Amino acid sequence: MEKVLEVKNLHTSFFTHVGEVKAVRGVNIDIYQGEAVGIVGESGCGKSVTSLSIMRLVPPPGKIICGEIYFKGEDLLKKSEKEMQKIRGNKISMVFQDPMTSLNPVYTVGDQLMEPLRIHKKMDAKSARRQAIELLKAVGIPDPERRLNQYPHEFSGGMRQRVMIAMALSCQPELVIADEPTTALDVTIQAQILELLKQLKAEFNMSIMLITHDLGIVADLCSRVIVMYAGIIVEEGTTREIFYNPKHPYTWGLLKSIPRINILSKERLIPIDGQPPDLLKPPQGCPFMPRCRYAMRICKEQCPGLYSVSESHKAACWLLDPRAPAVTWDREGVNFG
């Protein structure tokens, strides 16, 4: 399989008036053609900043400090702004979290949908319109001819998110970055959108990078999962490896803190105590150490590197070192759905 995206040692910081906030601190990601990769983590873990860095859309005072981002072998960080414009929305596109604010309220949906087609594909107005109608049909919007002339406020949240997805797909990108695409939506609408993404992925053989905090969505859509915490990747593997054989205490905590829906008896949730660290002063050791019940002395002093569990499964935890005491992951304790 062809590698579509390769992120190497990415560091992105925000230079605020109180100091440098190190939002992303050395992230490596590979995405292959046709696969959906989920990036999970809590707010502030750097998952959105990673995706904005890939698009070179980090807002000031944020800056990419170092790293390489290869898209089909070309380093995006070496591209000029003009060259980037040819890639954004064309080869790589993005679906943002909030469908209410990411469409321009003063242009019709049709105008916004035709814009990338006219710019990137150099279509004339007529064929762009025809294509836009096709796209709206593809994402399941009824009566697309009429809908094209309407403004975003005439669409419901779910419908707007469909428009956003149609826009993202308009130039048949090779990679779609979806940043919490269903967070603002109701469950039944979320189910519709996820089904749509699955179907479109199969149809166009595109790659999806799905950023979310909802492990349920990842289990449903993605074949691989990357778990981020405090700006670094703490664990990555296939979806089955992450859900059935997690190795990092943070992943254990995430899985344990969500209630199981198919268990009839009532059981107590096991939260992760405390809060994520302040990235103004990222800790010297493992960032999860203060919240980790298995923490050892080394965890405070030195940040662990990624240990390989299998060819596809890696985790950054000192517990995986052969010298560490054996901590077994008790399956019973996990809140499987």
Partner 1 sequence: MSRSNEVLVEVRDLKKYFPVRGGLIRDKNQVLKAVDGVTFSIYKGETLGLVGESGCGKTTIGRTILKLYSPTSGQIIFDGNDITNLNDRQMRPYRKRMQIIFQDPYASLNPRMTVGDIIAESIDIHKIAKGEERKALIYDLLNKVGLSSEHANRYPHEFSGGQRQRIGIARALAVNPDFIVCDEPISALDVSIQAQVVNLLEDLQDELGLTYLFIAHDLSMVKHISDRVGVMYLGKLVEIAPSAELYDKPLHPYTRALLSAIPIPDPDAAKQRNRIILKGDVPTPINPPSGCRFRTRCPIARERCAEEEPVMKDYGGGHMAACHFIE
Binding site for partner 1 (CB under 8 A): 42-43, 156, 158-159, 186-192, 194-195, 213-220, 239-240, 243-244, 253-255, 257-262, 264, 266, 268-273, 275, 335-337
Between residues 9 and 16, which has the closer beta carbon with respect to partner 1? 16
Angstrom distance (rounded) from CA 123 to CA 109? 17
DSSP bridge pairs for 212: 40
Min CB(104)–partner 1 separation in Å: 22
**Minimum distance from residue 66 beta carbon to partner 1 (Å):** 29
Separation of CA 320 from chain center: 26
Minimum distance of partner 1 from residue 78's CB (angstroms): 36
Report the residue number, 115 or 214, with the smaller CB distance to partner 1: 214
Beta-carbon contacts of 86 under 8 Å, excluding residues fewer than 6 positions away, are 120
* Alpha-carbon distances of 121 from 124, 204, 249, rounded to whole Å: 9, 17, 47
Question: What is the smallest separation between the CB atom of 273 and partner 1, expressed in angstroms?
Answer: 7
Distance set, CA 136 to CA 206, 246, 262 (Å): 18, 40, 37
Looking at the Cβ atoms of 79 and 213, the one nearer to partner 1 is: 213
CB of 194 or CB of 233, closer to partner 1: 194
Q: Which is nearer to partner 1, 165 or 215 (CB)?
A: 215
Nearer to partner 1, 71 or 243 (CB): 243
- Bridge-partner residues for 97, per DSSP? none
Is residue 196 within 8 Å of 24, Cβ to Cβ? no
For residue 170, the minimal CB distance to partner 1 (Å) is: 23
Residue 26: CB minimum distance to partner 1, A: 23
Neighbours of 85 (CB within 10 A): 14
Q: Which is nearer to partner 1, 94 or 254 (CB)?
A: 254
Q: What is d(CA 69, CA 200) in angstroms, rounded to the nearest whole number? A: 25
Q: What's the CA gap between 32 and 3, in Å, rounded?
A: 4
- Sorted by sequence, the CB contacts under 8 Å of residue 161 that are 6+ apart come out as 95, 99, 181, 182, 184, 185, 189, 193
Supply the minimum distance, in Å, between the C-beta of residue 89 and partner 1: 27
What's the CA gap between 321 and 38, in Å, rounded?
A: 26
